[in-house]
Amino acid sequence: MNLCINGRFTTQPLSGVQRFAVEITRALQTRDPGYALLTPRGGGTAWLGAREVGAHQGQGWEQFDLPRAVDGPLINLGNTGPLLARRQLVVIHDAGVFSTPEAYSRKFRLWYKLMQSVLIRRGAIIVTVSEFARAEILRHLPAEPAQVLVIPEGANHLSEIAADNAILTRHELEPGRYVLAVGTLAAHKNLAALGLLAQRLCERRIPLVLVGGMGGRAFRTAVLPQPAHCTGRVTDAELKALYQGAGCFVFPSWYEGFGLPTLEAMACCCPVVASDIPALREACGQAACFCDPFSPEDIAARVLAVLEAPSCQQEFREAGTAHTSNLTWARGAAVLDAIAKDKLLN
């Protein structure tokens, strides 16, 4: 009996959830070529051995086409899954629609709450990416403790990519003389809180550089901090160059299930200032400088303290590199593979 992977993520813009799905799928298929990736039309182009099924896209594909095409237990990697599938595992990355409803549109919130509750009541195995996220899921959704399991994420996906330093030239960025933030204008990403930091950096002629898509239909968006330099979406090679060249990476979210960009930055030898929230404390350990996400003054002070102290920068570079050295997608896939085969095939 084949284990099938829900490939809806192959047709979605790349964000943290899609990054997780891409890297875990690659690692699972490397570990066991028997994993079958099923995608909507156009999604299988870049995946050797992927099978395109159905005629729809988006939720229509996931809810109707996918369950008809599945010929074994199903693994869903991006918070959602088909209500009609019988034996399945769903990775739920956080409980944001419950804990931070103001960050999402009403339609999105209602659908996620209903769909995830039904999946759990129908016996889906739930996997998540941190102990914090597990506690949140158990608090808000009708799951039994034994039904919700945790796997580690990886941070090594940029390691074998050559950095494209042309992006620094194109945006007139000097290595060590800019601060980087990665995210969207979704309210919980809290980029608006970087406004004071942007002003204080501007006084020092240091730009605040924002990378990522600015918003999305699912989210209620915040205000763009000013002054800031926005690059939009970038390639992985460009992202690696931006991490490596930044004097500091700042991640001001007030809610996360994990916080993958902080580990990406650490793996690229970039000092990190991150929000002092449970998920980021868990993900970053002692390798980041923590700030109060609700205090623009504290965010600015912490970032400037790192920027203006070369010894502090070096300390966090070394701590981040050590912290992420064993965080591989192969390790996460090994745990997920064991859970899937134990819970879905036995």
pLDDT at 222: 59
Strands 74-76 and 125-128: unpaired
What size, in residues, is the chain?
346
Strands 289-291 and 272-275: parallel
pLDDT, tens only, 160-172:
999 999 999 999 9
Q: What is the dihedral of CA 191, 91, 148, 87, to 10 degrees?
A: 160
CA quadruple 256, 225, 183, 290: dihedral positive or negative? negative
pLDDT at 7: 98
Confidence tier at 32 by pLDDT (50, 70, 90): very high
For residue 54, pLDDT over 80 is answered with: yes
pLDDT at 219: 45
Confidence tier at 44 by pLDDT (50, 70, 90): confident
Confidence tier at 214 by pLDDT (50, 70, 90): low
Q: Is 169 helix (H, G, I), strand (E, B) or coil?
A: helix
For residue 221, pLDDT over 80 is answered with: no
For the chain, what are the domain ranges?
4-154+328-344, 166-324
Residue 90: left (phi > 0), alpha (psi -120 to 50), or beta?
A: beta
In this structure, the number of other CB atoms found within 10 A of the CB of residue 67 comes to 18
User: DSSP letters along 220-277, please?
Assistant: -B-PPPSS-EEEES--HHHHHHHHHH-SEEEE--S--SS-HHHHHHHHTT--EEEE-S
Mean pLDDT of 24-35: 96
Confidence tier at 1 by pLDDT (50, 70, 90): low
Strands of the sheet with 4-6, listed across from one edge: 51-52, 36-39, 4-6, 74-76, 88-91, 125-128, 148-150
How far apart (Å, rounded) are the C-alpha atoms in residues 185 and 235? 19
Rg, C-alpha atoms of the chain:
20
User: Among residues 57, 65, 8, which one has the least CA distance to residue 37?
Assistant: 8
Q: In CATH, which of 3.40.50.2000, 1.10.357.10, 3.50.50.60, 2.40.30.10 is domain 166-324?
A: 3.40.50.2000
The per-type count for the chain, helices as H runs and strands as E runs, is 14, 13
4-154+328-344 in CATH: which number? Answer: 3.40.50.2000
For residue 67, pLDDT over 60 is answered with: yes
**Chain position carrying tokens 């086409």:** 65
pLDDT at 215: 55
For residue 187, pLDDT over 80 is answered with: yes
Mean pLDDT of 215-228: 63
Question: Of the ranges 141-155, 170-184, 209-223, 318-332, which one carries the lowest mean pLDDT score?
Answer: 209-223
How far apart (Å, rounded) are the C-alpha atoms in residues 107 and 23? 29
How far apart (Å, rounded) are the C-alpha atoms in residues 331 and 314? 28
List for the chain the helix, strand, coil content (%; round to 5): 45, 15, 40
Q: In sequence order, what are the beta bridge partners of 219? A: 104
pLDDT at 218: 47
Please state, in angstroms and as integers, the Cα–Cα distance from residue 181 to each residue in 140, 198, 252, following that order.
Answer: 30, 11, 9
pLDDT at 68: 96
The first and second tokens of residue 15, run together, are 């964000």
Indicate if 166-324 has the same CATH topology as 4-154+328-344. Answer: yes
pLDDT at 224: 73
